[in-house]
Every structure is written in structure tokens, then in C-alpha cells.
A and B are shown apart, each in its own frame.
Chain A
Amino acid sequence: AQSVSQHNHHVILSEAASLELGCNYSYGGTVNLFWYVQYPGQHLQLLLKYFSGDPLVKGIKGFEAEFIKSKFSFNLRKPSVQWSDTAEYFCAVNTGFQKLVFGTGTRLLVSP
């Protein structure tokens, strides 16, 4: 079965620090990859997505992610985090059946 691993369960950063959240998936075929974010008290919303083409994708609020096929990874990055980035981040994979498999999430706390 397909699975998604997010290795960092909790991350604490100071404002202006750089962020990288790891995501690895287990599936050998073609995948579509997503990062979703859940801000406190808000809907789960799409941060960015990769379907094909340039493996470096840019999303909202200055986030980007890089798809490395050989490593089965789709890590999320942001050069300089803000207090408003405090949220829970979920990586997800679609393997072609209109279903998403989610990772367990990473809680990010950014201290001002």
C-alpha cells in the first residue's frame, strides 16, 4: 500500500529562520504530490502541488517544494518563516485513483 512519511512531527523555529519539512512516499509509479496547510481554526487548504514538469514548484505565501524522483521525496521549504506560518503541514500523494494518502503531519511553531 502507498504510504507517506513526514519525519518531523514538531518543529519550533524563530522568525526569519529557514524551514525545510521532509516528505517521503512509497510508490513506484507516477504520482501527484501535494502540501496542505491547516492554520489554527481554519480549513485545510492547498499550499502547493506537483503534477509534472519543473520539479521545483512554488506555492502560496513564499513556500516551495522540490520533487526528487530518485529519492521519492517532496520536501517543503521556505527561506524565512514568519509567526503567521504557525500551522500544521500535511504532505499527500495521489497515485491515480482520485484518493489522497496523507502523511501524519508536522506541527510548526514559529516564535516571534
Chain B
Amino acid sequence: DGGITQSPKYLFRKEGQNVTLSCEQNLNHDAMYWYRQDPGQGLRLIYYSQIVNDFQKGDIAEGYSVSREKKESFPLTVTSAQKNPTAFYLCASSTSGTNGGEQYFGPGTRLTVT
């Protein structure tokens, strides 16, 4: 089955700790994205990568970091500098061709920091 996997589904961390969220896709997509979803705020773009070894900041990149060493993988690290890390995190991917930007989403990781 082709798709996007995110693990774990639920993640709990203590304040002050960095945590890395996993995102893997087997759709052979060039582009990958990380969003944060908060109630009443929709999806906000954290980081995106259009090609391996390259990535750009989205609208709310502060307190987050990413890497793109492999086409299939785009892990997101939530650092201790992120002031409100508790949220639902969604990973997505898309082709880099003329698909108009259609993105495919993973199941999400719900992060709770206490």
C-alpha cells in the first residue's frame, strides 16, 4: 500500500526536552511538508522540502527543525525553544510536477508536552 506513515500516533514529553516526529512516504514524491493543526486555526505550515537535502521554513518554523537526507523521510524535531509544542502534527507529500499542489496526508502525531 502506498502512503504516508507517521509515528508514533501519540507522544508525551516533559517540557524542556526535544522530540522528533517521524514521517515516511513510499509514494515516490519529491516534496514533503510538516503542518501543525490547532483547534480553530486550521493547518499552518512549519517546514517544507521540495527535494532531498533542501528545505525551507514555512509560516511558523520557530522552535522546529527538520532534515531531508532521504527522499522517503522528513523527520521533524520539536525543540525546547518551541513555546507551545502541544498540538497535532501532520506530514504531507506531493509530486513536484504539474499536479496543482495536491498533497497527501499522513495520519498525524498528537504531541502533548507537560
Contacts and interface: CB of A to CB of B under 8 A. Distances in A.
Interface string A36-47: 100000111110
A42 B101 CA distance: 21
The size class of the interface chain A forms with chain B is: 20 to 34
Given A43-B105, A98-B31, A104 B90 contact: no
B100 A51 contact: yes
Interface in B19-57: 31, 33, 35, 40-45, 48, 50
5 contacts: A32-B101, A42-B107, A98-B96, A98-B101, A105-B42
A16 B55 CA distance: 46
A75 interface: no
Interface of A: 4, 6, 9, 32, 34, 36, 42-46, 49, 51, 90, 94, 98-100, 102-105
B interface residue count range (under 10 / 10 to 19 / 20 to 34 / 35 or more)? 20 to 34
Interface string B52-75: 000000100000000000000000
Given A46-B102, A100-B43, A104-B40, 16 more contacts: A34-B102, A42-B107, A43-B106, A44-B90, A44-B92, A45-B105, A46-B104, A49-B100, A90-B42, A94-B100, A98-B31, A98-B94, A98-B96, A99-B45, A100-B101, A102-B44
